[in-house]
Amino acid sequence: MATRFERAERLTKLPPYLFIEIDKKKKAALARGVDLIDLGIGDPDRPTPAVLLRELARASPRNRAYHQYPLGSGLPAFRRAAARWFEKRFGVAIDPASEVLALIGSKEGIGHFPVAFVNPGDVVLCPDPAYPVYNAGTIFSEGVSVMMPLSEQNGFLPDFGRIPRQALRRARVMWLNYPNNPTAATASRAFFKEAVRFCRKHGIILAHDMAYSEIYYDGERPPSVLEVPGARDVAIEFHSLSKTFNMTGWRVGFAVGTAELVAGLAAVKGNLDSGVVSAIQAMGIAALGAPASLTAGIRKVYQRRRDVFVSGLRQLGFEVRPPKASFYVWIRLPKGKTSAGYASELLDKAGIVATPGNGFGDAGEGFMRMTITAPESRLKLALQRLARLG
Ligand code: PLP
């Protein structure tokens, strides 16, 4: 007989949440007194810009309305700021009233989106390797994840022609994520055109996660899927202030796109949460309206770290391409090494935390992911330790 505390099936179907497993190992090493260099989780090490913290301090105590439930789809001023930012960045005009929804971080929106649009047994097309939340959200909605492998030969883009026909007939949602976590790949407008054409043809919702839109290098700005003609009635895009403005802890992002898709997600959220803390939305308004130099400064730090770290890795003989965007470095492992085995070896012998590629899906086997969210001095120390490891 089932015990009273047996978890619901949907929870037992979840694969172990990757970062929790790594965190356990990390904590054990720290308890042993190891000087760990943590290149595991993608969380900016630099503080939230002072100008945004000042806005939080200024806005929160004074505004009595902020002391009460925020409710709704986000403060009208936040939605207007998001729409203005979007138009300035991508050249696409957005209606702040019907096409923008404030989120408690983009993860929250991504996880909840299938609740609005996926029925039990519906197929959700997920990239592999990928950010684990696309699959988790599918499981919570009792959908079926069908993986689209991202291969190096195909630039870590899915090959739509290889999606099984049977899966296509039942597909409701396709997730894409560019700039990509974990592979750091970017997608062109031409690829998005093809994705939009494909999703429209097969009646699939195109959900694009663009959490890393502003972490790009060499001046090459990644496009939005909503720039493509025809995307406006098939696509929703998830944006985050977390990585762009060093704001992971404040939890704010937004969804933008087809009004019906935004409204569906808003209907789920209206029954689950009471909105993003208003004072944090005020901070978000300041961030989205900030001069371009704010994000340019953040990018400059990562670009320098990328150059130092990737050239160091290459000198050591690692097979790695300099990322064009994101703060991840996706490294092919030496022949004969498994992802989990190599990550353990690095932790035990060099005190370096890296994320095994297979934690992002089967297609990630043979790779590991390292982040450059650590100071340059630590990245250089990691390179020295790797050199010693041989
Ligand atoms: N999407 C991707 C690909 C991510 O890597 C992350 C966080 O690591 C998120 C979304 C969620 O970001 P947030 O919830 O902080 O907006």
Q: Which of 115, 141, 52, 381 is nearest to 261 (CA)?
A: 115
pTM score > 0.75 for this model? yes
CA of 69 to the centre of ligand 1 (A): 25
Tell me the pLDDT of the chain averaged across its residues.
95
Is any atom of ligand 1 closer than 6 Å to the C-beta of 132?
no
Chain segment 26-65, per-residue pLDDT in tens: 899 999 999 999 999 899 999 999 999 999 998 887 888 8
Q: Is the CB–ligand 1 distance for residue 105 below 6 Å?
A: yes
Res 18 pLDDT > 70:
no
Residue nearest to atom 9 of ligand 1 (CA): 107
With the most atoms of ligand 1 within 8 angstroms of its CB, the residue from 126, 236, 242, 326 to mutate is 242
Inform me whether the pLDDT recorded for 1 exceeds 70.
no
Please check whether residue 290 is in contact with residue 89, taking contact to mean a CB–CB distance below 8 angstroms: no
What confidence tens digit (pLDDT) does each residue in 343-367 have? 989 998 999 999 999 999 999 999 9
Ligand 1, closest atom to CA 41?
8
Distance in angstroms (rounded) separating the CA atoms of residues 52 and 63: 16
**3 state DSSP class of 15:** coil
Mean pLDDT along residues 110-138: 97
pLDDT tens digits for range 183-238: 999 999 999 999 999 999 999 999 999 999 999 999 999 999 999 999 998 999 99
- Decide: 237 in ligand 1 pocket, CB within 6 A: no
Residue 270 has pLDDT above 80, yes or no: yes
* Residue 209 CB less than 6 A away from ligand 1: yes
- Under DSSP, the state recorded for 8 is P
80 lines ligand 1 (CB under 6 A): no
Is the minimum distance from the CB of 303 to ligand 1 under 6 angstroms?
Answer: no
Ligand 1 near 211 CB (within 6 A): yes
pLDDT above 90 coverage of the chain, percent: 88
Pocket lining: 250 vs ligand 1, CB cutoff 6 Å = no
Confidence of residue 21 (pLDDT cuts 50, 70, 90): low
Residue 272 has pLDDT above 90, yes or no: yes
User: How far apart are the C-alpha atoms of 191 and 176, rounded to whole Å?
Assistant: 11
Q: Which atom of ligand 1 is nearest to the CA of 130?
A: 3
Q: What is the pLDDT of residue 202?
A: 97
Q: What is the pLDDT of residues 298-315, one digit of tens each?
A: 999 999 999 999 999 999
Pick from 101, 107, 133, 241 the residue to mutate for probing ligand 1's pocket: most ligand atoms within 8 Å of its CB: 107
Is the minimum distance from the CB of 330 to ligand 1 under 6 angstroms? no
Closest CA to 52 of 41, 60, 64, 61: 60
Tell me what pLDDT residue 372 has: 98
Mean pLDDT over 5-10 rounds to: 90
Scored b (16 or more CB within 10 A) or e, 239-267 reads bbbbbbbbbbebbbbbbbbbeebbebbbe
Span 6-26, average pLDDT: 81
pLDDT of residue 19: 63
Does ligand 1 have an atom closer than 6 angstroms to the CB of 224?
no
pLDDT band of 24, cuts 50, 70, 90: confident
Whole-number pLDDT of residue 59: 84
- Is ligand 1 within 6 A of the CB of residue 137? no
The token duo for 340 is: 């989990």
Identify the band that residue 25 occupies on the pLDDT scale cut at 50, 70 and 90.
confident
Residue 209 parent element (H or E) = strand 205-209
pLDDT at 17: 66
What average pLDDT score do residues 249-278 get? 97
